[in-house]
Amino acid sequence: MVLQLSTFHWEGGAGVAAARLHQALLDAGTDSRLMVSQTSRPDPQTTAWADDSWKSKKAWGNFVLERLNFLPYEKDRSVRFAFSPAAIGADISGHPLVKQASIIHLHWINFGFLSLQSLEKLFTLGKPVVWTLHDMWTFTGGCHYNRGCERYLSHCCYCPYLKKPGEYDIAFAQFEKKLKLYQNADLTLVSPSRWLDNLVQKATLTTGLRSLTIPNCIDTDFFMPGDRTDARKAFGLPADKKLLLFAGANTQDPRKGFSYFREAMRHPELADIEVMILGKGQPENFKDMPVKTHFLGKISDANKMVQAYNAADMLVVPSLEDNLPNTIMEAMACGTPAVGFDTGGIPEMIGHLGSGFVSTSRSSPSLSEGIQWVLEHNGDGTVSRNAREKAMQYYSEKVVAGQYSQLYQSLCHG
């Protein structure tokens, strides 16, 4: 049995990716279990660590303590959730599912679910551990994305996320703990993008560890092309306009690059286009958009997400840092082309001048050029068909579950 471990369940990019993989493995006949801090809905073979009221309070307390642990060090509120000290977490090493597991598969485990000490107890069990990286935290001194700092390539210190960076700051201390932690672990690191795997191989903490690339997966029978007119009607959107979609869990997160999208839309050629925005935020956040904007808020219902992708002419992803965004995968599976910056794993997903357009990072003019290119070249639906075909070829559940099954078998019989 393979035990998947994830802080979140069907929430956030990493939580959704872990739950999707678990379901894909079950469908492929692999004996998979998923343990999360708290479940968000009933799911086959899925268990909450916090399975009673006392543990639910404990899980919340761990999250609060984990954040309080970082509070004295944080530079400002903008970095509050961008650095994880991993000082607080649950000891699950004696849990029946952990004992039964042949392989332990880690996903995103921060925010009080598992601490470095929790990981140490799991690693000392001697079982093979697969760790799917959903950001850079595994090989840094605490940050989830490095924002240009490259000290993780040698040794983290003078961390730019901290109020008082220093030679022996908490990033230095966490780096040292991870160095010791990984030394005797039977660890295989999986990166959903080649970009991230390349960093894994360069980073001091992980350079000697087994690593490979396997993308996240998606149900291409659920995320699929549908009727655009019906989709637009469902949201009360205009039937006769070109509509661009911007989707982010937190639209105001600077990492999502919304300001570049806003500037790109000032191009005179795009004046008649309208924009759909999904995610956390308020309508007043977008009052300075140069074109008409439809703020649809946060959508949790997967069926409505499919409708949103089908309502749009394209998805625009101006992220400044990202691994392998679920939104691009979902849009492409629905036959909706994507335009995004040349950063992280995004250019691996978008086939430049084939199934979308890869723009120069942090360039609003290049972003507007990409939007115009898709509009000009998708009149007959060629770009949409290419996007759908690429999603099915690389990200379908069957393809990805098969790659993970091969990895598990090699670890059990290697």
CA 124 to chain centre: 28
Task: Show the tokens assigned to 182.
Answer: 């990984």
Closest to 386 in 3D by CA, of 225, 213, 217: 225
Neighbours of 360 (CB within 10 A): 14
pLDDT of residue 28: 95
Is residue 310 within 8 A of residue 336, CB to CB? The reply is yes
CA distance 317 to 324: 11
Task: Give pLDDT tens digits along the chain (414 positions).
Answer: 999 999 999 988 899 999 999 999 999 999 999 999 999 888 999 999 999 999 999 999 999 999 999 999 999 998 989 999 999 999 999 999 999 999 999 999 999 999 999 999 999 999 999 999 999 999 999 999 998 899 999 999 999 999 999 999 999 999 999 999 999 899 999 999 999 999 999 999 999 999 999 999 999 999 999 999 999 999 999 999 999 999 875 666 778 898 999 999 999 999 999 999 998 777 777 888 999 999 998 888 899 999 999 999 999 999 998 888 999 999 999 999 999 999 999 999 999 999 999 999 999 999 999 999 999 999 999 999 999 999 999 999 999 999 999 999 999 876
Paired with 106 in beta bridges are 5, 131
Fold (topology level) of 2-217+396-413: Rossmann fold (3.40.50)
pLDDT at 226: 96
Helix (H, G, I), strand (E, B) or coil at 171: helix
Nearest-CA neighbor of 27 among 11, 10, 45, 48?
Answer: 45
Which candidate, 271, 309, 305, places its Cα nearest to that of 289? 271
Query: Which string of DSSP letters, residue by residue, matches 127-172?
Result: --EEEE-SSSGGGSSSBSS-TT--GGGT---S-TTBSS--TTSHHH
Give the per-residue pLDDT at 184: 84
Collapse the DSSP code of 346 into the 3-class scheme (helix H, G, I; strand E, B; otherwise coil) and give the result.
helix
pLDDT, position 22: 98
CATH 3.40.50.2000 occupies which residues in the chain? 2-217+396-413, 228-395
Q: Do the beta carbons of residue 155 and residue 146 sit within 8 Å?
A: no
The pLDDT assigned to 67 comes to 94
Question: Could you confirm whether domain 228-395 is CATH 3.40.50.2000?
Answer: yes
Q: How far apart are CA 389 and CA 386, in angstroms?
A: 5
What token pair was written down for 81?
Answer: 């959730």
| pLDDT score recorded for residue 347 | 96
Q: Residues of the chain with pLDDT > 70: what percent?
A: 99
Q: What is the pLDDT of residue 286?
A: 81
3-state secondary structure of 212: strand
Yes or no: say if 342 and 358 are a contact pair by the CB < 8 Å rule.
yes
Judge whether 58 and 82 are in contact, CB under 8 Å.
no
**Model confidence, pTM:** 0.92
SS3 at position 89: coil
Confidence at residue 291, expressed as pLDDT on a 0 to 100 scale: 94
367, 316 contact by CB (below 8 A): yes
Q: Are 93 and 72 in contact (CB under 8 A)?
A: no
